[in-house]
Amino acid sequence: MLSYVNNNQFYYSTITVKEIEVNIEVAIEHGLNEDEYNRIFEILGRTPTYTELGIFSVMWSEHCSYKNSIAELKKLPRSGGALLVSAGEENAGLVDIGDGLAIAFKIESHNHPSAVEPYQGAATGVGGIMRDIFTMGARPIAALNSLRLGNIDRPRTQHHLKGIVKGIGDYGNSFGVPTVAGEIYFDDCYNENPLVNAMAVGIVRHNDVARSTAKGEGNSVFIVGSSTGRDGIRGATFASEEISDNSESKRPSVQVGDPFIEKQLLEATLEAIRLGLVVGIQDMGAAGITCSTSEMSAKGKCGMDINLDEVPTREKHMTSYEIMLSESQERMLIIASPENEVNIQNIFDKWDLKCKRIGTVTLSRNLRVYKDGKREVDLPADCLVLGGGAPVYYRDSKQPEYISSIRNLDLQNLPEPLNYNECLIRLLKSPNIGSRNWIYNQYDSMVRGNTISTIGDAAVIRIEGSKKAIAVKTDCNSRYVYLNPYQGAQIAVAECARNVVCVGAKPLAITNCLNFGNPYKADIFWQFKESIKGIIDACTVLNTPVTGGNVSFYNESPDGPIYPTPVIGMLGLMLSLDRAMTPHFKNIGDMIIQLGKTNGHLGGTEHLKVYHNIVGGDAPPIDLYYEKKIQDCCLSLIELGLINSAHDISDGGLAVAIVECCFNDNRIGKTLGAKLTLVKDTSLRQDGLMFGEDQSRIIITVSQRNYEHVIQQCMNSDIEYTVIGEVIEDILKINDLIHIKVEELEVAYQDSIKNKIEEQTVEQ
pLDDT in tens, 590-621: 999 999 999 999 999 999 999 999 999 999 99
The per-residue pLDDT for range 289-303, each reduced to its tens digit, is: 999 999 999 999 999
Indicate whether 43 pLDDT > 60.
yes
Give residue 667's pLDDT. 54
Indicate whether 480 pLDDT > 90.
yes
Confidence band for 10, pLDDT divided at 50, 70 and 90 = very low
Indicate whether 763 pLDDT > 70.
no
C-alpha to C-alpha distance for 340 and 277, rounded to whole angstroms:
6
Residue 217 one-letter amino acid: E
CA atoms in the 13 A half-sphere facing the CB of 77: 20
> By C-alpha distance, which of 504, 667, 662, 699 is closest to 584?
662
C-alpha to C-alpha distance for 616 and 479, rounded to whole angstroms:
9
Indicate whether 251 pLDDT > 50.
no
In the chain, ranges of CATH 3.30.1330.10 domains: 78-209+466-580
> By C-alpha distance, which of 480, 436, 502, 501 is closest to 651?
480
Indicate whether 552 pLDDT > 70.
yes
Give residue 13's pLDDT. 34
Partners of residue 147 on adjacent β-strands: 184, 196
CA atoms in the 13 A half-sphere facing the CB of 570: 34
The yes or no reply on domain 48-60+211-392 and CATH 3.90.650.10 is: yes
Give residue 9's pLDDT. 38
Indicate whether 115 pLDDT > 70.
yes
Residue 66 one-letter amino acid: Y
Q: Identify the residue with better confidence: 541 or 63.
A: 541
The yes or no reply on domain 78-209+466-580 and CATH 3.30.1330.10 is: yes
Partners of residue 511 on adjacent β-strands: 569
Candidate from 46-55, 382-391, 439-448 with smallest mean pLDDT: 382-391
Contact 663, 672 (CB under 8 A): no
Give residue 455's pLDDT. 83
C-alpha to C-alpha distance for 182 and 184, rounded to whole angstroms:
7
C-alpha to C-alpha distance for 108 and 289, rounded to whole angstroms:
19
Per cent of the chain over pLDDT 90 is 84
Confidence band for 683, pLDDT divided at 50, 70 and 90 = confident
The per-residue pLDDT for range 169-207, each reduced to its tens digit, is: 999 999 999 999 999 999 999 999 999 999 999 999 999
Indicate whether 370 pLDDT > 60.
yes
CATH number of the structural domain 417-443+581-764: 3.90.650.10
Indicate whether 350 pLDDT > 80.
yes
- Cβ contacts of residue 373 below 8 Å, gap of 6+? none
How much is the mean pLDDT over the chain? 92
C-alpha to C-alpha distance for 39 and 36, rounded to whole angstroms:
5
- Cβ contacts of residue 674 below 8 Å, gap of 6+? 585, 592, 658, 661, 662, 725, 726, 727, 728, 732, 733, 734
Catalytic residues: 63, 110
Confidence band for 252, pLDDT divided at 50, 70 and 90 = low
**Mean pLDDT along residues 341-356:** 97
Indicate whether 6 pLDDT > 90.
no
Give residue 668's pLDDT. 54
**Mean pLDDT along residues 524-530:** 98
Q: What is the Rg, in whole angstroms, of the alpha carbon atoms belonging to the chain? A: 27
**Mean pLDDT along residues 356-363:** 97
Indicate whether 248 pLDDT > 60.
no
The 8-class DSSP code of residue 189 comes to G
Confidence band for 7, pLDDT divided at 50, 70 and 90 = very low
Please, what is the end-to-end C-alpha distance for the chain in angstroms? 53
Is the pTM here over 0.75, yes or no?
A: yes
The number of beta carbons lying within 10 Å of the beta carbon of residue 683 is 7
**Mean pLDDT along residues 252-272:** 89
